[in-house]
Amino acid sequence: METEDKENPSSEPHKLMLKTPLKQAATSNSVLSEIQNQAGSLLTPPKLNETSPGDPWTPTANLKILISAASPEIRNREQKKRWPDGPSEVLEAKNYLHEHLSGDEYEKSQPSRKEKSLGLLCHKFLVRYPNFPNTAENNEICLDEVSEELNVERRRIYDIVNVLESLHMVSRLAKNRYVWHGRHNLNKTLQTLKKVGEENKYKQQIQLIKRREYEQEFELEDEKTGMVTTHTSLNTDLCFVELPGMEFRAASVNSRKDKSLRVMSQKFVMLFLVSTPQIVSLEVAAKILIGEDHVEDLDKSKFKTKIRRLYDIANVLSSLELIKKVHVKEERGRKPAFKWIGPHILPYTNPVPTTTTIVPSHSVECKSAKEQCSKNLFPSRGKQSFTRHPSLMKLVKTIESDRRKIHSAPSSPTKKTDSDPNPSSFPSKMAQLAAICKEQLEEPSRQLKKMKMKLTQTTMQCKLASPVKSQAEPVPSSSQTPSLVEPLGVLPVIHNSMSPAMLPHAYSGVSYAVYLHPSQGQTMTTYSPTFTLQCVSCANMTGIKTSLDANSKALLSKTTTEDGDSSIVKDDAVTEDGNFLIAKEKEVTKNDNISEKCLKRSQALLENSPIKKYKGNEKNLEDALVTLFPSVYLIPLAHCTQLGNEAVFYSKEKAAMCSSEPGTYSSSIAGLLPVTTSEVTAVNFPAFHITPLKLMVPPSSVATVPVANGVSFNSSPDNPSQSPSSSLRNFTLQHLGLISPGMQVSANPILGPASVHPETEHVSPISENVGSYQSPYLGLRRNLPSGQTGKTSEMCQTTTENFFRTPGGPTKNSSLAVSSDSKGVDEISQGTKFVPQRKLEVSTEAKL
DNA sequence: TATTCCCGCCAACAC
DNA sequence: GTGTTGGCGGGAATA
């Protein structure tokens, strides 16, 4: 039963005409469709119901259309009517008419697939409406009308509208009627989607899938099919994400939402927003979407169907210029993928009192910011418009709570920092950690006073060296000099990879807060033993294993642009709507010259490690995902203080960019501050020689203080032998004063030799201290209940993201400079790079 | 051959 | 019962 025939009588002839075997007729229709569209719906039946009995699709009507299109009068009239900014459109129509009416070609040519593609149709659809419509005006959309004007089945309009609705560019008013919102809500929607995507750990899912793919490539006997297995699905079962005032009113919202195109679209977008680089292959997306739809039902046909739908969605998103098609080349061939070209959304960066963002107060801010999402999802004013999945409700509640606390002025960490540089004013947990550090280092309380002084000093230095400016500066190579800040000169400092904004402060002897970003738990940044800075989660061995695997996959899946750039970081930091920073997607690519054998070998080593026993324990894997805290940030406290009022923070993006630098060997998706061995020694741990090291560790990251270089940093994934127990042991021993802080009990018999970085030979003992120093916290972290920490991690995410945003906003340019300028490290480390990867090539193709 | 995705059947749902 | 909505998959066009 084709209901369209019933509900849209006038379309029936059209439909029949389309079905006609006569090529010419079909061509005419197609051309007419184009003409109608490009000319601004020249015929524009007011409404389908009001369409004149004279069917527009009769030959006579077609002729009228052509005449109308060619007539300036009619065109102008219609243009005024429908195209406020239509001159260009009229020109297009002219060209189109000229192109199609001046010859026989168009009659001979068939309407190609492209002409009828959903993407083009969506483009036509979008052209009809302004990006930012005047909300005061009537922006209603009649689907019948649109389908009529665009000369397509209404079914196709549904496809478009569903995707647009998923982005809240339209919302349903009533049957057959929608209201056009344009891009007014787009950023907010993307922001929300990103948050929800993070909450649902899509990033981890992607990595899990990639990891399994990788394992399959190496013929792990346990793997049977290429399909996603249950452990790849975190079973979040997302429902449609709403925005206030845009509650969904679709008829089938309750029954079909699970497989709804709009929900799929949202999930698809989430994948882009949470992944780094923001390239998502259809295969991975399909697996994830299927996974959430109960993987047990998965079969080939389901997969194919999902792929089809993803194509539909992707075409619309492409028309919206949010994504573009690329191809990911792998060993096995080319895979279709899409790359996010829309705004880079930094979740919940909407104007927040700057005084609330510097130091994350663990108990308050770190309850995190789902509230924003929640408020977006569910306006407090009204009732929910449709049944929502319980899990979503749960999520929303948490979000609401988090947001409330983020915006809670009294808990503002910045305030404390600004008003009182005294470390004692930090949140209690931070203070405790700092105290632990002090104790471990056998540094008396005088260090605090010293730190105060240095903070003050650094504040002045910060004023001299604008963080924003410095961020924008290219990072000098190893010879980089701390321009405005006097290096303490305690230890040699090599800045081949450090953020320029941080360097001066680093040299200034500023105390650094070591922060591990909880939101990047899956993005273990190192696999190579030679990583100079490694992020560690020793919460448990499972965590290590999982993160290692995930990271290896992340590395493997690093994409390289078609031109073969091995390190590309783009930054087009802009602001949009003044609401939040939008940075162009950063593409961080890894070196291509690392053989997979190395990876395999490393994995084999891993397999031999005690971690192996966890393999196959899917539950553990999932749990581990929650407990990973791989990213590290070194935050000059003075810097933070200084920048607090400027609402500029160190961003994980920045860190991630830095991490892309060869010298860091870090995953592009990891947030870390790339430092060389020397940097770590001299700068990042001034506490050992200069100022107290202050650990600002959110509750979720309590135990993770991963700062070290290759060898000394032996609790990293590349050192599987460094078990949590080892870390705990070291910490305990050190804490009890049984061993010195610089001592490290554990050894790395497995990867140790391979992990020797050329520079590590010159590593001072302090570096080693660093390595051992962090272990205690890893141990502490391990003691935390995984569930609790995982949740806390999430809750802290938003706050920490804000907090650690790079001064001056996204400053990936500087990172780009870093990449290009840091040849020293590159050269140094090249020989020992141990970055496993599966080379992926991304080639862009202009879809339309 | 693989990828892409148009097309329309037809079922769920609302009225 | 009628109309709306949209999941779904065949299969053709395209690469």
pLDDT tens across A405-464, in order?
333 333 323 233 333 333 333 333 333 333 333 334 433 344 444 444 444 344 334 333
A11 touches strand C (CB under 7 A): no
Residues 149-178 (A) near nucleic chain B, CB < 7 A: 152-153, 155-156, 175
DSSP one-letter code for A580: E
| Residue whose CA is minimally distant from C3 C1' | A7
Burial zone of A63 (CB within 10 Å; 0-12 exposed, 13-18 middle, 19+ buried) = exposed
pLDDT recorded at residue A141: 87
Contact A723, A606 (CB under 8 A): no
Q: Residue A50 is encoded by which pair of tokens?
A: 């009001």
- Higher confidence at residue A259 or residue A797? A259
| Residue whose CA is minimally distant from B14 C1' | A251
A312 touches strand B (CB under 7 A): yes
Q: Could you tell me the pTM of the whole model?
A: 0.42
A762 touches strand C (CB under 7 A): no
**What's the rounded mean pLDDT across residues A126-145?**
84
> pLDDT over 90 for what percent of chain A?
0
pLDDT higher than threshold 80 for residue A126: yes
Please state, in angstroms and rounded to a whole number, the distance separating the CA atoms of residues A178 and A190.
21
Highest mean pLDDT among A321-335, A499-513, A815-829: A321-335
Q: Residue A746 is encoded by which pair of tokens?
A: 């554990």
- Higher confidence at residue A802 or residue A160? A160
Intra-chain end-to-end CA distance of chain A, in Å: 34
Residues 92-111 (A) near nucleic chain C, CB < 7 A: 110
A254 touches strand B (CB under 7 A): yes
**What's the rounded mean pLDDT across residues A279-283?**
83
Q: Which of A729, A725, A732, A680 is nearest to A706 (CA)?
A: A680
Give residue-wise pLDDT tens across range A661-672.
322 222 322 222
**What's the rounded mean pLDDT across residues A352-380?**
30
Q: Residue A753 is encoded by which pair of tokens?
A: 């030799």
Q: Which residue has the tokens 């002729």?
A: A63
Instruction: Measuring from the CA of residue A336 to each C1' atom, give the nucleotide at the shortest distance.
Output: B3
CA(A51)–C1'(C14) in Å?
36
pLDDT recorded at residue A330: 65
pLDDT higher than threshold 70 for residue A319: yes
Entry field: residues in chain A:
848
Please state, in angstroms and rounded to a whole number, the distance separating the CA atoms of residues A534 and A554.
15
* Phi/psi at A320 (5° precision): -80, -5
Give residue-wise pLDDT tens across range A697-742.
223 332 333 333 333 333 333 333 333 344 444 444 444 444 444 4
Cis amide leading into A277 (omega within 30): yes
A638 touches strand C (CB under 7 A): no
Residue A5 CB coordination number (10 Å):
12
pLDDT recorded at residue A214: 67
Contact A714, A748 (CB under 8 A): yes
Q: Residue A175 is encoded by which pair of tokens?
A: 């049957």
Give residue-wise pLDDT tens across range A154-202.
888 888 988 888 888 888 888 888 888 888 888 888 888 888 888 877 7
State the DSSP H helix or E strand holding residue A447, giving kind and residue range, or none if neither. Answer: helix A446-464
Residue A529 CB coordination number (10 Å):
29
Amino acid (one-letter) located at A664: T
A446 touches strand B (CB under 7 A): no
> What confidence tier does A137 reach under pLDDT thresholds 50, 70, 90?
confident
CA(A227)–C1'(B2) in Å?
19
Residue A356 CB coordination number (10 Å):
26
Contact A700, A366 (CB under 8 A): yes
CA(A309)–C1'(C7) in Å?
10
Contacting residues for A154 by C-beta, under 8 A, at least 6 apart: A4, A8, A11, A143, A144, A147
Give residue-wise pLDDT tens across range A765-792.
233 333 332 332 222 232 333 333 333 3
> What confidence tier does A216 reach under pLDDT thresholds 50, 70, 90?
low
**What's the rounded mean pLDDT across residues A653-662?**
32
A469 touches strand B (CB under 7 A): no
pLDDT recorded at residue A333: 65
Using alpha carbons only, give the angle A323, A325, A331 rounded to the nearest 5 degrees: 130
pLDDT recorded at residue A841: 38
Instruction: Measuring from the CA of residue A308 to each C1' atom, give the nucleotide at the shortest distance.
Output: B5
CA(A23)–C1'(B4) in Å?
22
Q: Residue A519 is encoded by which pair of tokens?
A: 């939101």
CA(A307)–C1'(B4) in Å?
10
Contact A704, A786 (CB under 8 A): no
pLDDT recorded at residue A134: 84
| Residue whose CA is minimally distant from C10 C1' | A305
pLDDT higher than threshold 70 for residue A43: no
Contact A839, A492 (CB under 8 A): no
DSSP one-letter code for A110: -
* Phi/psi at A165 (5° precision): -65, -35
Q: Which nucleotides of C are covered by protein (CB under 7 A)?
A: 2-11, 13-15
Contact A832, A662 (CB under 8 A): no
Burial zone of A578 (CB within 10 Å; 0-12 exposed, 13-18 middle, 19+ buried) = exposed
Please state, in angstroms and rounded to a whole number, the distance separating the CA atoms of residues A165 and A157.
12
| Residue whose CA is minimally distant from B15 C1' | A175
Residues 161-200 (A) near nucleic chain C, CB < 7 A: 161-162, 172, 175-176
Q: CA of A693: how far to CAs of A194, A424, A443, A510, in Å?
A: 33, 14, 10, 9
Give residue-wise pLDDT tens across range A414-427.
233 333 333 333 33
pLDDT recorded at residue A184: 86
> Which residues, listed in sequence order, are joined to residue A842 by a DSSP beta bridge?
A328, A561
Summary mean pLDDT of chain A: 45
Please state, in angstroms and rounded to a whole number, the distance separating the CA atoms of residues A192 and A198.
10
CA(A154)–C1'(C14) in Å?
25
A7 touches strand C (CB under 7 A): yes
pLDDT recorded at residue A360: 27
- Higher confidence at residue A598 or residue A291? A291
Q: Which residue has the tokens 């469709």?
A: A33
DSSP one-letter code for A345: B
A689 touches strand C (CB under 7 A): no
Query: Buried (b) or exposed (e) across A329-355, using 16+ Cβ within 10 A?
Result: bbeeeebbbbbbbbbbbbbbbbebebb
CA(A33)–C1'(B15) in Å?
33
A23 touches strand B (CB under 7 A): no
A249 touches strand B (CB under 7 A): no
A19 touches strand B (CB under 7 A): yes
Collapsing DSSP to helix, strand or coil, A408 comes out as: coil
Q: Which residue has the tokens 């997979």?
A: A596
Using alpha carbons only, give the angle A324, A325, A327 rounded to the nearest 5 degrees: 140
pLDDT higher than threshold 50 for residue A121: yes
CA(A814)–C1'(C7) in Å?
48
pLDDT recorded at residue A142: 86
Please state, in angstroms and rounded to a whole number, the distance separating the CA atoms of residues A544 and A139.
53
A308 touches strand C (CB under 7 A): yes
CA(A444)–C1'(B4) in Å?
68
Ranking A246-260, A265-279, A498-512, A783-797 by mean pLDDT, the lowest is A498-512
Instruction: Measuring from the CA of residue A250 to each C1' atom, give the nucleotide at the shortest distance.
Output: C5
Q: Which nucleotides of B are covered by protein (CB under 7 A)?
A: 2-15
Contact A355, A308 (CB under 8 A): no
A302 touches strand B (CB under 7 A): no
For chain A, state the CA radius of gyration.
Answer: 29
> What confidence tier does A110 reach under pLDDT thresholds 50, 70, 90?
low
